[in-house]
Structure 1
Amino acid sequence: MNNPMECFVKTVLSICLLPMLVTLAGCAGVTTDVAATGALPAAASQPATYRFAPTPAQADAGEMLPYQALLSAGLAQRGFNAGTTEAARYLISVAWATRPADVKVVDGDCGAGCAPAGGPSLPWFGRPYVHTLTLRFFALPDGGELYKVSAVKRDRNADAREAVPYLVAGALARLPYAGAPQWRVKLKSPPNAGTTDHAPGMPEVLTVSPVDTQ
C-alpha cells in the first residue's frame, strides 16, 4: 500500500513540474548558433560554381550527408551552382557530427521563465546532444581556404538526421555572415518535420542576429 505522504509529495511535484515543462517548451524555440571566419566574395561578382569534396568516409558511404539536396538548393538560392570539376570555382567540404553534451540553455527573449544559460543538466528531460555542420570553401585551382562557416544545434534527440535541415538553414541563412564572427538564427520547423514518410523541407528563417561576445 502506498504511503499517503509519498502520494501527496508526488502529486505536488507533478503539479509544480508541469507548468515549468510548458514554460521551457515555449521558450526554447528552434535555434542554431553560427560562427564564420574568412571572407567569401559575393556570388554576383562572378560566376560562383562549386563542387563538393567528400571525405574518404563519405565517399565510401556513397552519401555526403542526409538531405544533401537541401544544401545544394540552399546554395543555389544564394548564387552558388554546382559545376563540373574543370569549371568549378570553389571546392566545398562538408563535415557534420553529433556528440553528447551538457545542457546549455541559450539566453533569449524568455524572460524569467527560462532556465539560465549554462544551468544544470536535468535528467528527466533526456540526454542532451550537440549537432554541428561545418562548410569550408576552398578556392580553385590553388586550393587555399577562403571561408568557413559552422552551425550548431542543441537538443535532446540522438538522431542527427533530424538536426541536419536546421543546421543547413542556419549555416546559409545570411551567408557569408559579414560584420560579426558569431550569430544566432531562429528557425521555424517545416510542416512535415518529425515525419518519416518524406525528408523534411528547409526550415523557415525567422530572425538572424549577431551575438555580442564581449
Structure 2
Amino acid sequence: MNIEQARFNMIEQQIRPWEVLDQDVLNLLSIVKRENFVPAAYRELAFVDFEIPLPAGQHMLAPRIEARVLQELAVKKHETVLEIGAGSGYMAALLAHRAQHVLTVDIEPELAELAKANLVANGVLNAEVATGDASRGWNAAAPYDVICVSGGLPVLPQEMLEQLKVGGRLAAFVGTAPVMKAQLITRVDEKQFRIADVFETYVEPLQNAVHAPRFRF
C-alpha cells in the first residue's frame, strides 16, 4: 500500500467532501500519522471510511467524523482540552497539536495504556492520559476551554456542561439509535449555553453514560 497516496485519498475523497475545509485541519491530518495509532492487524484499513476495532470492544471513529469535530471545536494554542474516551490516542494527538494541554480519560485500563504508549511513541508531549469513568465529565482538572466526547451520550449531563469555562466549547454525539446529533455546545455565560446541531450520525454510547429516565405507567 502506498501510505501517502492512501492518506491523500482519505483527505480529498472522504474528509474534504464532508465540509472540512479548514486548511490547518487538513494539514494536521497529514502531520499526525493515523496509521501509527491503528492496531497492527488493521493498519491496511487506517485510511478507510470505517470504525476500526480497538481492544475492549471499542472502536476508532471514522476519519471524516474525527476531522469534522476537530474543525468545529476550533481549538486554540492557549486552551486546555478534556477528551472523554481516549481510544487509541489519535484524537488526543490531533487535539494536542492545536492546544496547550490535553487530558484524555478512558474507563478501560487497556485503552488508557494503549493511548499513553501511542502518544509517547509519536512524540506528543502535551497530552496526558487518565484511567477512570468520565461519563459525567472529569471534575478534577476542571474547568476546561474545550471538551471533546469521543463516544455517544443519550443525555448530555449537566455536570459536564458546568465543567466548561465561559466561552468554552463542547462537542458530543447526543441521542439514541438509530440517529444521534453531533452537537457543538458553547458556554455563553455562567447560566446560558448555545447548542448547534452539526451533523447526524451514530456512535456507540460511553460506558455508564447517563440515560433519560424511563416513565412507568
Class of the TM-score when normalised by the shorter of the 2 chains: under 0.3
The structure with the larger Rg is 1
Structure with more contact order per residue of length (Cα contacts < 8 Å, sep ≥ 6): 1
Q: TM-score, normalised by structure 1?
A: 0.28
More helix as a share of residues: 2
Q: TM-score, normalised by structure 2?
A: 0.27
